[in-house]
Amino acid sequence: MVKKMYYTVELTNHYDQEKGRLTFFESRRDIPFEIKRIYYINSVPQGAIRGHHAHKNLKQMLFCPFGKIRIVLDDGKMKHSVLLDTPTRGLVIGDGIWRTMEFLTDNAVLCVAASDYYDENDYIRDYNEFINYVESGYWKR
Ligand code: T46
């Protein structure tokens, strides 16, 4: 479904000097899955790091409408980081990616569109277990 494991996307937006900016994305057109759930994270103290998990099947798109958040992505072999510091940047993350989210500014907001309902069984919250999944070939790319 999500062929690349993660990538950023520049979201379509309309800016008006007097009225501001409107940004949008649509299932299947701008992101490669149907959205079943939206959630958002706020009131995070500056410097706090959340995440530390991967998903077995879930695909998501992360975006930051306010503030600055660093997302570190780990496929079990290599790590990359992506800065969400503009409301028009989306980060699509496929399954099998260990992620952390570092809130670099106070009051930053992380919004997420997800391909499925919440299911704790889809989470891998132990890093050694994640590496075992990677080495077992669970995610065939
Ligand atoms: C992810 C990153 C980007 C729910 O009950 N329903 C939900 O839809 C979600 C997302 C979470 N929860 C519960 C599970 C935990 O008891 O809320 C609590 C906090 O969740 P968690 O510690 O997993 O939050 P983060 O910020 O570490 O991770 C979240 C998402 O859980 C995760 O899927 O990829 O944001």
Instruction: Give the integer Cα–Cα distance in Å for 9 and 38.
Output: 18
Which residue stretches of the chain are H helix? 127-135
Q: Is 39 in the pocket of ligand 1 (CB under 6 A)?
A: yes
| pTM, full prediction | 0.96
**Relative to the CA of 62, which ligand 1 atom is closest?**
3
Q: Mark whether 52 is an active-site residue.
A: no
Q: What is the pLDDT of residues 4-39, one digit of tens each?
A: 799 999 999 999 999 999 999 999 999 999 999 999
Q: What is the DSSP letter of 68?
A: -
Element (H, E) at 124: strand 123-124
Nearest alpha carbon to residue 93 among 26, 133, 33: 33
If one residue of 2, 35, 53 were mutated to test the ligand 1 pocket, choosing by the most ligand atoms within 8 A of its CB, it would be 53
The predicted pLDDT at position 2 comes to 52
